[in-house]
């Protein structure tokens, strides 16, 4: 068994950065002061990931108000809608409103959301993007004839974003798809639509892709995901019983969402390691990534940092064996 690890979503801002954003809104500090506050958080998180020996490093998405916002605010054809609750969490996103043909010809705006100069040159970089299916399901469609046409347009947008970010240096791409596993929607997605979306979204060659599902148990339809053109499938093990995976042949990398991003309790490294061994026994996956089940933005940064260190300790225990 190969044990790897990485993080899976928007990272929580420090108290200092939260204060800086509020002070900037009230004109108490300058734009430069705010940028410096963002850079301090990015630098701290990158160093934490290096110390934790994570397999892929990212810069925390600290500037992303939600996973859809950079696209909604900058891509022609999309407008910013009302503030909506993101599934059953105490977090919110601004609903994408599709008012015209989605035009992804110019994606240079993405540079404003990443701190490339702060990412280490000797580590592989990971980018986290909204999953096309979730993006399409949460959007209000005022232009395309049906949801399928909208899904294809959003998949094309994300495919172009992958190509653009790959040219900047990113080599691993995670698509976040909570809609697929969320209990109120489970078993309602179309396998054919999902396959069509991912054939488009993953067309850039020679890079790695994963699909991360969370906020629910995907085990009843895991077979549909295993057929997709991605290298890894992320499963929320805070919602999924490992025993429910026993009938699947797991030929892809398994991204084990063991660390609970919605709970401030810091996991015990030995318990993490034991669960990984059980997952290996049931699935026979050759590569398992230890990761949070979802974004860690739901907990304070100090707690998130402790959870990252717990990932390292668990990985060390497993590699030691």
Tell me the C-alpha distance between 4 and 54, whole Å: 7
We report the CATH number of the domain holding residue 283 as 3.20.20.210
Average pLDDT over residues 168-191: 85
- H/E stretch holding 84 reads strand 78-85
If pLDDT is split at 50, 70 and 90, which confidence band does 276 have? very high
Average pLDDT over residues 96-107: 96
If pLDDT is split at 50, 70 and 90, which confidence band does 319 have? confident
- H/E stretch holding 280 reads helix 269-283
Domain total for the chain?
1
Alpha helices in 52-146 (DSSP H): 69-74, 132-138
Average pLDDT over residues 77-87: 94
pLDDT score at 225: 95
CB 262 within 8 A of CB 307: no
CB 219 within 8 A of CB 245: yes
CB 157 within 8 A of CB 98: no
pLDDT score at 9: 95
| DSSP 8-state class, residue 300 | -
Q: pLDDT for 38-48, tens place per residue?
A: 999 999 999 99
If pLDDT is split at 50, 70 and 90, which confidence band does 183 have? low
Tell me the C-alpha distance between 276 and 311, whole Å: 11
CB 297 within 8 A of CB 65: no
pLDDT score at 189: 82
If pLDDT is split at 50, 70 and 90, which confidence band does 184 have? low
Q: pLDDT for 223-271, tens place per residue?
A: 999 999 999 999 999 999 999 999 998 889 999 999 999 999 999 999 9
What's the domain range around 296? 2-320
If pLDDT is split at 50, 70 and 90, which confidence band does 137 have? very high
88 vs 117: which has the higher pLDDT: 117
What backbone torsions phi and psi does residue 127 show, to the nearest 5 degrees?
A: -115, 140
pTM, two decimal places: 0.96
């Amino acid at each position: 068994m190969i044990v790897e690890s990485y993080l899976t979503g928007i990272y929580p801002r420090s108290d200092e950065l939260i204060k800086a954003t509020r002070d900037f809104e009230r004109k108490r500090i300058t734009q430069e002061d705010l940028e410096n506050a963002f850079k301090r958080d990015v630098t701290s998180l990158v160093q934490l990931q290096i110390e934790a020996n994570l397999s892929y490093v990212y810069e925390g998405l600290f500037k992303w108000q939600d996973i859809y916002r950079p696209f909604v605010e900058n891509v022609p054809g999309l407008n910013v809608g009302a503030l909506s609750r993101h599934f059953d969490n105490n977090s919110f996103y601004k609903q994408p409103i599709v008012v015209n043909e989605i035009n992804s010809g110019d994606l240079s705006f993405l540079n404003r959301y990443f701190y490339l100069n702060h990412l280490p040159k000797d580590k592989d970089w990971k980018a986290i993007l909204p999953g096309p299916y979730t993006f399409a399901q949460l959007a209000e469609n005022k232009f395309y004839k049906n949801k399928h046409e909208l899904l294809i347009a959003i998949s094309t947008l994300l495919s172009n974003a992958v190509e653009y970010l790959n040219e900047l240096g990113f080599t691993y791409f995670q698509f976040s798809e909570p809609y697929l596993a969320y209990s109120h929607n489970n078993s309602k997605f179309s396998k054919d639509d999902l396959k069509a979306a991912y054939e488009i979204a993953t067309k850039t060659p020679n890079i790695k892709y994963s699909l991360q599902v969370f906020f629910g148990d995907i085990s009843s339809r895991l077979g549909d995901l295993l057929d997709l053109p991605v290298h890894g499938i992320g499963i929320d093990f805070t919602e999924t019983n490992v025993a429910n995976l026993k009938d699947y042949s797991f030929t892809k990398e398994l991204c084990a969402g063991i660390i609970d991003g919605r709970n401030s309790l810091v996991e015990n490294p030995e318990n993490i390691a034991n669960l990984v061994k059980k997952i290996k026994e049931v699935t026979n996956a050759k590569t398992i990534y230890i990761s949070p089940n979802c974004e860690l933005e739901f907990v304070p940064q100090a707690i998130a940092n402790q959870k990252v260190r717990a990932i390292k300790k668990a990985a060390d225990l497993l590699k030691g064996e």
